[in-house]
Amino acid sequence: MDKTLNEAVLFFKSEQTYQKLFMQFKKKYESLGRIGGTIPVQLFTDEELEVIGGFFGMPGSRLNEKGSISVAAFERHLADTRFGDIELKSLLDAYFGEVIISKKQRRQEKKDALRRYVEVLRADHPHLRFWFDYLLENRGGVRWIWTLLDKTPDDFAAMTARLDSAYRSLPDSPERLPMFSQRITGDPHAFDLHAEQGKLWLHLLAVGADVTFPLTTEDTNELLQNYQIYRDDLLNYVTCAGLYAEADAGMHPVWQSAVKENTVQIVPIRELVKLTNVYPSQGSDVWIVENSGVCGTLLDYKPDVPIVCTNGQFTLAALMLMDKLVESGCFLHYGGDFDPEGLGMAQRLLNRYPEDHVKLWHMDANSYMDSNPAKELSEERLEKLNRIEHADLLEVADAMGRKGKAGYQEALVERMAEDI
């Protein structure tokens, strides 16, 4: 067979026309994954059609009239020649000196090779197995990672090693991202979030926290804050009033003076990390509001009220302050806006702190209706209500879903003032 195959290759290579024809056969097989299809006669000159027609036992003009050359027909006629024991696929493989495979098969082999590469990385980095499992499941949103892996596998392996080191060395206390990056890699910019390494880092953290990959600055900051990493310790702040604080040296004089003068403080993380204890200037209740306008109005009613304003989504500074308040034995009363994001924030607090330290403040279904909801919620935002699972929020989430509108704290500020 080998001898006959070699003779067939030599025979067809002796005529340049067959080089052109077989190249079209090869492309057709790569496209279809089998012997089949047709080749347009327009690709060949009259002289070339005479050669091919001779193989079929017809003049080139007759072949031209047919309009195309059948690949399967060529294989049938091959069976009637002295090379009849040779299949056309075997002839093409020998002719081109390679095993011809379909594009689909080539893609699958490439995909399989990449998966094997990832499986090796998974074995080398056991702390990241959960992340590699996510990639291997081929879930949505990871195509860019597979593209990166395919493009530069060695670079990807090096970045994976840095991810492993970083994940095993997450900070126990708040740490700036550049300082964290310097500590892990010796380069403060290694995890810059616009670079590939930084994007992979964010994806790893998102998978670890079982949240979607962050697409906004706010979501990115929140994800990093979950791991006690922050991008800025001056612009990451929380607003508060009516609170005492202590540091290693005892009562903090700035906080003491702020209480005495009923002064509102805007406290960045840089100052919070120095504190050992925070507690209200009176009683054990602290009122937490989302909206700065509501906070200011409540302070107008009662200038010495112990209050915290988160100014929208919780910053790491806000969470740090509330953590310290709960550690000191305080009871948090949280009131937020009646929208999917507000309920999400409320759920986060309810899940973060023991039930004997946090309570919703005018965030029930009746309060929602009393807020006169008027702003239409998009379907995309309403979808977020499906994430509300805490028993204390299910009723209001259901009411919001049925009405499809958002309500706001401002409408209830007089009731809130009466409470404090």
CA torsion 42-45-46-49 (nearest 10°) is -70
Would you tell me how many other CB atoms lie within 10 Å of the CB of residue 211?
14
Residue type, position 383, single letter: E
pLDDT at 231: 80
Mind listing the pLDDT tens digit for each residue in 375-391?
A: 999 999 999 999 999 99
- From residue 99, alpha-carbon distances to 89, 105, 111 in Å are 9, 12, 18
Based on the fold, state whether residues 115 and 196 are members of the same structural domain.
yes
What CATH number has the domain bearing residue 291? 3.40.1360.10
Residue 11 and residue 79 in one domain: yes
Q: Using DSSP, how many helices (H) and how many strands (E) does the chain show?
A: 22, 15
Q: Tell me the CA distances in angstroms from 389 to 343, 350, 399, one per residue in order.
A: 10, 11, 14
Q: What is the mean pLDDT of residues 360-370?
A: 95
- Asked if 293 and 387 sit in the same domain, the reply is yes
Residues 344 and 295 in one domain: yes
pLDDT digits (tens, 9 = 90+) for 79-98: 989 998 899 999 999 999 99
Domain range enclosing 343: 237-419
Residue type for 301, please?
A: Y
State whether 261 and 359 are in the same domain: yes
- Please tell me the least confidently modeled range out of 145-159, 221-235, 349-363: 221-235
Least confident of 137-141, 161-165, 278-282, 384-388: 137-141
95 and 128 in a single domain? The answer is no
| Domain stops at, among 230, 246, 267 | 230
Query: How many Cα atoms sit within 13 Å of 174 on the Cβ side?
Result: 25
List phi, psi (to 5°) of 284: -125, 0
User: What is the pLDDT averaged over residues 353-371?
Assistant: 94
Tokens of 258: 């702020």
Residues 121, 95 share a domain:
no
Q: How far apart (Å, rounded) are the C-alpha atoms in residues 180 and 169?
A: 9
Please report, to the nearest 10 degrees, the dihedral formed by the alpha carbons of residues 242, 245, 250, 256 taken in order: -30
Number of domains in the chain: 3
Question: Which tens digit of pLDDT belongs to each residue from 169-180?
Answer: 999 888 889 999
Confidence of residue 225 (pLDDT cuts 50, 70, 90): confident
* 112-152 pLDDT tens trace: 888 999 999 999 999 999 999 999 987 667 989 999 999 99
Residues 221 and 280 in one domain: no
Shared domain for 245 and 224, answered yes or no, is no
- Taking alpha carbons only, the member of 229, 240, 228, 231 closest to residue 278 is 240
Confidence of residue 205 (pLDDT cuts 50, 70, 90): very high
Which pLDDT score, from 0 to 100, does residue 233 have? Answer: 65
Please state, as a whole number, how many other Cβ atoms lie within 10 Å of the Cβ of residue 16: 10
Residue where the block lists tokens 């995890």: 191
Q: What is the mean pLDDT of residues 349-358?
A: 94
Give the integer Cα–Cα distance in Å for 261 and 309.
19
H or E element: which one contains 289? strand 285-289
Q: Which amino acid is at 324?
A: K
For residue 141, what pLDDT is reported?
73
Please tell me whether residues 383 and 257 are part of one structural domain: yes
**Helices (H), ranges, 276-407:** 292-301, 316-327, 340-352, 365-370, 379-383, 391-403
Based on the fold, state whether residues 155 and 35 are members of the same structural domain.
no
Q: Average pLDDT, whole number, for the chain?
A: 92
Q: Do 331 and 405 belong together in one domain?
A: yes
Domain boundary among 101, 122, 138: 101
Bridge partners (DSSP) of residue 238 are 267
Q: Which one of 101, 126, 145 terminates a domain?
A: 101
Rounded to two decimals, what is the model's pTM?
0.58
Whether the pLDDT of residue 216 is over 80: the answer is no
